Structure 1
Amino acid sequence: MKIRQTEQAVDEDIIEVDGIDFKPNTGNFKITVSTGCTLLDLIISGLRLKGGGLPSGILIEVYGPTGVGKTAILSEIAGSVQYRGGEVKFLDPEARLDQQYAEIYGMELNKNNYTMPKTVPQVFEEIKSFRPKNTGIANAVCTDSLAALSTDLELDSGDAMGMRRAKEFSAGLRKTCVEIKENNFIIACSNQIRQSQYGEVTPGGMGIPFYASLRIKLFPTKGGQVTKRVKIKEDHATGLVGEFEKVTGNKVGFQITKSSLDEPWRKGFFYLMFGYGIDDIRTCLQYNKEMTSQTKYDCCGNDKWYVSLDKAVDYVEKHQLQEALRNKTIYLWEAIQKALTDERDPKIRR
C-alpha cells in the first residue's frame, strides 16, 4: 500500500507508506478510561462498550481553536489514567500547564512525568523511553500541543514551508504505532486549526490524521457562555447593593471527525467550568432535558425537578445522585441510537 499526498502549504505533508497495509488501531476495550464527560464517552464508543470511554492502545488528536478546552480534555484523560493506577507523562511544549491547573483535574505532576520538549523528535524520544511499571492497565502520554513543536532544522536555519516537521511526525508515528498498541498506551495530543488554500488543516501535516484512531474537533457554541448572576438587596457588612454577574464557564461543542473505534461524525457538547473542569453533572442534566423536551431539569431523585440548572446541579451533588443521573444519560443515548439504527437483512454475496 502506498500513500502519497503533496500539498504546498505551511502545515501539509508528504506521506509515503510503502509495503505496509496499515490500519489505525481499533483499541483494547478491556482496558479503558473516561474522558470525564459521560456524553463524550458515549459518542466515542457507546456502541462498543456500555457507557463508552477511551480504549487503550490508540493515538488521539483533539483539535480546535484556542481557548476551547483542548487542554482540559487531555488533563481529564491524564487524571482518569492516574486515578485508575496508571502512569502519565505530560509533555508541554507551550509551557503553560502549572500545578494548580493540574490539581483541578486530579493530576499529579512532578519532574519525572512532566517535560517541555521543543522539537518533534524529542516527543517521540519521550514516548520511546516511557516504561510504566504496570502495562496491564492504561498508561498515557499527553502532548499539549503539537502546533508548538519545532524541528532542529527550523531552530537552526528555518523551515518556512513546515515540510521537515511534517516528515518527522510521519516517520515517528510509523515507528511507534505498534508500540502504542502492544503496550496499551493512550497517546493523546492536542492541536490547533489553521486555514490554508486547501481549507481547514491541523499543524504537523497528514501523518497525525492518518495514524490517529480517534480525532475530536472542539468548537465554541452559539451563546455558549455560562453566566452566574446574583442580586443583593443590601449587605450591611459590605454596603453592596445591586445585581452582579460573571462568566463562569463555556458550553463547548464537539464532533468525532475520524474513528476506528465506533461510528464517526457524531456530535455533542459539554460544559467547561472555570476552576472546576468538565462539568459532567451540568452536561448530563442539560442533555437529558433536551432529549426529553422537558421544561425543567430532572435530578433523578425524589421526583425533584428544577427550572434553574444551577439549582439542579446543587441538588444532584448534595444528594449524591451523580450515578443515577449518568445512568439516565446512558439509557437515553442508547434509546436514541436504537431508534436511529436501520434493521436490515444480511447482505447477499455473489
Structure 2
Amino acid sequence: MKSIFDFTAKQMSDAFEEIGERPFRAKQVYEWLYTKDVHDFDEMTNLSKDLRAKLKATFASHYLDIVEKQVSKDGTTKYLLRLEDGGLIETVLMIHPYGKSLCVTSQLGCNMGCKFCASGLLKKQRNLTSGEMVNQVMTVSHDLKERISHVVIMGTGEPFDNYDNVMNFIYTINEPKGLAIGARHISVSTCGLIPGINKFSNEGLQVNLAISLHAPNDEIRSRLMPINNTYNMDDLRVAISNYIDKTNRRVTLEYILLKGINDEVTHARMLAHYLRGLNVYVNLIPYNTVIENGLEKASDRKIQAFKDELIRLHINCTLRKEHGGDIDGACGQLRAKREGRMTDNEN
C-alpha cells in the first residue's frame, strides 16, 4: 500500500483525481497531515465517512515505529526507526541556537564504502521512498510535539544514488502549504557523484549543497573514499565550479580530520591550493570514532592548527560543534550495533 507521505501537494491532488475525488479534498488531507499533525484518517473530521474509508483502504498513513531513542547530554537525539518492511534506519535530531535540525537517512544501508563511516558496515539493501524520508520528519516532529526547522540529508546512504526520491522529498517538505521548511534550511550531502551534482544544478532550488571531500589529494581520498576511483578530485573540482557558476550558490565541503592521515598543516596547504578560486567554505569535522574502522580522531591541537592554516590562506572554514559524543552519534552506529556489526565501546 502506498504511503500518503509519498506525495507532493500536486501529486496528491492527481492521486485523488485517480480515485474519483475532487482535488480540494487532497488539499484538506495535506493540511491535516502537515499543518495539524494528524495522520489518522478517522480524525480528519471535515471528510466524509465514505472518503475516510476509501483513504484507509488506499493509503498507509501511520508514523514509523520508534525502536530506540538515545538522548545526549547536549540534547542531540538519535532515533532508531522501523520501516514497514522491518528495515531499521536512523535519524538524528540536533539542537542549534537557530532551531531544531534533523539529519535524514536516504537509503537502507550504503554501498559507497567510505572507510571512516559506520553506515558502510551494512550494505545497501534498497533506496528509501520519498514517503519514508518524509515520515522520518513527521515521526520525530510528532514525538517532540515541536516543529523541525532545518533538514540535512546526511544520514545513511548516498542521496544522489536515490536522486528522484530525494528530490520528491525535498519538494514535499518545502511545500509552502505543508511543512514549509525553507529551501535555504535544507541541505543535501553527496560523497561526490558528479552526474548527481550536475543534475542538481538544474533544479533551480535554493537548497544547500554539501560535498564530502575529506582529503587534500587523490592518493588520500582514494584510500578513504572508493568513489574517488570513479570521480577523481580534478573532475570533482570542475563539477563544483560548474555548479557554482550555474547556481551562484556557495558549496560546503566537509572534511573529517583523522589522526595521522589528513590532519597535518601540509594537508591544509594542499587543500587550500585545491580550493583556490572556488566559492566554497570548509566544514572541519572532529571524528566520532568507529572502532571497527581502525581510524582515530585528530588531536585538538592538530585540528586547531589545521583550521588556523586554512584561515591564514584565506579559506573560509568552520569547526563543527561535536554532537552526540556520549551516544552512538556517528552515522550508522546505532543501527549497526543493533544488527550485530559493531562492538559496544565506540566512543
Task: State TM-score, norm by structure 1.
Answer: 0.32
Q: Structure 1 or 2: larger helix share?
A: 2
Give 1 or 2 for the bigger CA radius of gyration: 1
- Higher relative CO (Cα under 8 Å, sequence separation at least 6) belongs to 1
Q: Structure 1 or 2: larger strand share?
A: 1
